[in-house]
Each structure stands twice: as structure tokens, then as C-alpha cells.
Amino acid sequence: MVDLSQYLPILLFLAVALGLSSAFVFLPMIVGRLTGAHKPDPEKLSEYECGFPAFEDPRSQFDVRFYLVAILFIVFDLEAAFLYPWSVSLKDIGWGGWLTMMVFIFELVLGLVYAWKKGALDWE
């Protein structure tokens, strides 16, 4: 027979996590409804970020270059995040770790050259 009592702490943890997350999501909505904060009027629904109405439809498509620059930023940001722990532990990991990181950096340089040749970094 399997002893299921060892799973009780996990079950309690999941119940507390589900209860707290539900409270954080639904409690502010309920309090907002009860206190009268949910009474839309034209002043509340007006633009508030920049102070004037939008020039065009906010659902218009972005140029794909915005996404390319964002993806390139994330890739090279992750490269920096991997380089720091690698440099700190370089003495311990030896030549195998050095060679592995050089292959990784070479692949990223190839990606950068490819993006540069395709014009992903050119901004008009």
C-alpha cells in the first residue's frame, strides 16, 4: 500500500497558492465593484498616457523591424547573461567549457552577421 501522507505538504502548498492567487485576482475586482470605483464616464475613458487623442487606429500593424530589433536585443542580452557566470567559473570548467562558449559565441556572431546582411539593424 502506498503511503500518500507524504504528499500532504504539497497539497497544502498548492491549496494556499491557489487561494492566494485567486484572492489577488478577484478581491480587487470585487472591492472595486462594491466601492463604486467602476462607474465609467467620458472623463475616465479618455486618453491618459500622452494627453491627446491618437492620430491613427491603435490596432494598426507595426513594422516587422520593431520585432526584429526586440528579438535581437533579447538574444544579445541573454548572451551577456551567459557570459558572466561562464567567466566566473572559467578556471573550474577548463578547456572544454572555454571551447563550448566559443562555439556559442561563434553561433551568435553568425546570427548577427546574418541579421546585418538582411538589414534588420538598418533604421530609416
Asked if 88 and 30 touch (Cβ cutoff 8 Å), the reply is: no
Predicted local confidence at residue 66, as pLDDT? 78
CATH number of the CATH domain containing 55: 1.20.58
Q: Please state, for a pLDDT cut of 90, what percent of the chain lies above it.
A: 24
Cβ proximity of 105 and 112 under 8 Å: no
Mean of per-residue pLDDT scores for the chain: 83
Does residue 123 lie in a domain region? no
Which cell is 20 given? 492566494
Q: What is the pLDDT of residue 102?
A: 92
Q: Where are the alpha helices (DSSP H) in 1-124?
A: 8-35, 42-45, 64-88, 90-118
Residue 64 lies in a domain: yes
Quick check: is 55 in a domain? Answer: yes
Give the domain range for residue 110: 4-118
Q: How many domains does the chain have?
A: 1
Domain-embedded: residue 124: no
Tell me the CA distances in angstroms from 117 to 17, 76, 112, one per residue in order: 49, 17, 9
The one-letter code for the residue type at 15 is: A
Looking at per-residue pLDDT, the higher value among 64 and 117 belongs to 117
Backbone angles phi, psi at 118, to 5 degrees: -80, -10
Summarised one tens digit per residue, pLDDT across range 97-116 is 899 989 988 988 898 888 88
CB 104 within 8 A of CB 97: no
The number of CA neighbours under 13 Å toward the Cβ of 29 is 5
DSSP 3-state of 83: helix
What does the pLDDT average to over 29-51? 74
Residue 17 has pLDDT above 90, yes or no: yes
Alpha carbon distance 113, 118 (integer Å):
9
Query: Residue 63 has what pLDDT?
Result: 73
